[in-house]
Amino acid sequence: MRDIVEELRIQSYKSALHCIDEIVLFYADDGKIVNWNMQTVSELFYDKDDMSRITMQDLFSKQAAMFFEKGKQDARGKAVQMPVYRKNGTCFPAEVKHFIIGNEYAFGICIIKNIEELLLQQEKNRSLQEELNQARSAKDSFLANVTHELRTPLNGMKGMANLLLSGNLDSSQVDTVKTMMNCFDTMEKIVTDILDYSKLAAGKMEIEEHPFAFYPWVEDVMKVHRGLIENKNIAFESNVDSTIPSHLIGDSYHLTQVINNLFTNAIKFTTQGRIVFDIAVQSNVGNQWELLFSITDTGIGISKEKKEELFQSFVQGDPSITRKYGGTGLGLSICKKLVSLMGGTIQAESELHKGSRFYFTVPLTADTAIVEEKEPEVEKPHVIHEETKSLSLIKLMEQLALCIDFESYEKAEKIVHMIKDMTKGEQNEISKKAFRLELALRKSDTNKIKTQYLELCRTCNL
């Protein structure tokens, strides 16, 4: 009875062996093959008589055959890629493993997996990926070029509309021109979003850190949105930590862009209640300050199901939002990528019909080159010292000169934008000259760029 059970066990092992898709070979100490499965015959074209005569060395090249010598036991069980030769002399790429049975190397088991189709598929996938990358690159380049070209006539139309407002217009005409300006602003926001998205997708967006006066910058950011919030009869609150240094080093341009995007959403989706803007210190070690920015509203809110998709491209909380409120669905995706590039993280808390809170952290450095001046009142961050402004303007003009010399016009345009923000209001002439230089930069008109840059320098008394 015991012999019958043992025979059945052996037969079941043999049946299982023949069902395996890989080649399985049993070989003796001298490399002679003593047993094999059916896959060996179909893959290698050897019949039973052939298999009893060949050795492991006949299946592999001389170099690969060394793999099976006694002294190579350190490779046991490891997968090694090497060619395996058939009876007709052809070969195929294979993944080979071998195992030694017994401490004295009585015999070994070799498992051979044909990976020819796998490698062909990998090569095909590689080619497809290269084609996709080229197509994606062409698309991103097209988007960047088209949106850049759109901005030039758009800025021209905005400039003409501004000139119209300075003329003798009746109230009806003023309303019409203001409506035009609002349309231009909306179009510019969409064009900018698409341009930024294409740059981020192509990995061409760069973070440029520079010194800036923190409290005046905060006031400028709030000034842009305060009027819009009050026009909707929504309460506006702001809380700025007074321990934050008055002069920091960071990318204020992209920081403003993120905050503007979040403010725009809060204003768009809030019809009553309030909007709160907070800036707090998350952590501080030496000159390194991690700030926490948050914008809280009492707007329409977002459902739990949609919250996970918020920071994806072309996604909004509800499809009906696009129809009702407009927008590309790119704003939050751009915010997430920009914050990540600046070394921070962005998150959202929201409850449907109750409101939302978007908050993000960004690491900044205290500017020790400027003597720290204590702000007299946190409530009045708009106080700007002329000496500080002049120093910042000189630094920006120096950076601008370098960008123009090296024809880095995109960077130059960002710096001009910061100069405009810094000098608007009481230094209107500088702002006008900066605007003309900005138009020249967008057209990449070398002669006009140099002319307008010199005009700006003369106006700044530099």
Chain centroid to CA 309: how far?
Answer: 16
> How far, in Å, CA of 317 to CA of 310, rounded?
7
275 alpha carbon, distance to own chain's centre: 28
For residues 181 and 160, give the distance between their C-alpha atoms in angstroms, rounded to a whole number: 10
> β-strands 288-297, 355-366: how paired?
antiparallel
How many alpha carbons fall within 13 Å on the CB side of residue 383? 9
3-state SS class at 385? coil
pLDDT single digits (tens) 78-99? 788 889 999 888 999 999 887 8
In which band, very low, low, confident or very high, does the pLDDT at 385 lie, cut at 50, 70 and 90?
very low
Task: Round the average pLDDT of the chain to a whole number and report it.
Answer: 80
Instruction: Assess contact for 79 and 110: CB atoms under 8 A.
Output: no
CA separation for the pair 29, 107 (Å, rounded):
5
Q: What is the DSSP letter of 75?
A: G
Question: Stretch 331-349: mean pLDDT, rounded?
Answer: 91
Q: What is the pLDDT of residues 253-268, one digit of tens each?
A: 899 989 988 998 999 8
Provide the 8-state DSSP code for 195: H
Which residue type, as a one-letter code, is found at position 21?
Answer: D
* Separation CA 23–CA 110 (nearest Å): 8
Distance CA 324, CA 190 (A): 16
Nearest to 111 by CA among 149, 80, 142, 71: 80
Identify the helix (H) or strand (E) that includes residue 109.
strand 107-114
**Amino acid residing at 200:** L
Using the structure block, give the residue that is written with the tokens 């509203």: 297
Write down the pLDDT at residue 295.
96
Q: Could you tell me the two tokens for 70?
A: 């006694």
CB 184 within 8 A of CB 154: yes
How long a stretch of residues is the chain? Answer: 462
pLDDT at 55: 85
Q: How far apart are CA 342 and CA 76, in angstroms?
A: 49
- Structure pTM? 0.52
Percent of the chain having pLDDT more than 90? 21
Specify the pLDDT at position 2. 55
CA distances from 364 to 247, 341, 388 (A): 10, 13, 19
pLDDT band of residue 403 (cuts 50, 70, 90) is confident
144-176: per-residue pLDDT in tens?
677 767 777 887 787 888 888 878 888 888 888
- In this prediction, residue 138 has a pLDDT band, given cuts at 50, 70 and 90, of confident
State residue 198's pLDDT score.
73
User: Residue 9 — very low, low, confident or very high, per pLDDT cuts 50/70/90?
Assistant: low
When pLDDT is cut at 50, 70 and 90, the band that residue 11 belongs to is low
Residue 323 binned pLDDT confidence (cut-offs 50, 70, 90): very low
